[in-house]
Amino acid sequence: MTDDVRAAAERMYAAFNARDHAATAEIFTADFYGHPLGATGPESVTRAWRRFHERFPEVRVVVEDLIVEGDTAAVRTSVHGIPGQQPPTMLELFRVRDGRIAELWGLSSLR
pLDDT over 80 at 1, yes or no: no
Q: What would the pLDDT profile of 66-95 be if each residue is shown by its tens digit?
A: 999 999 999 999 999 998 878 899 999 999
How many structural domains are present in the chain? 1
**Closest by alpha carbon to 52, among 60, 63, 42?**
60
CATH code for position 41: 3.10.450.50
Burial class from Cβ neighbours inside 10 Å (0-12, 13-18, 19+) for residue 30 reads: exposed
Q: Which domain holds residue 59?
A: 2-108
Q: How many secondary structure helices (H) and strands (E) does the chain include?
A: 3, 6
**How does the average pLDDT of the chain come out, rounded?**
95
Residues 6-26 have pLDDT tens digits of 999 999 999 999 999 999 999
Quote the pLDDT of residue 53.
97
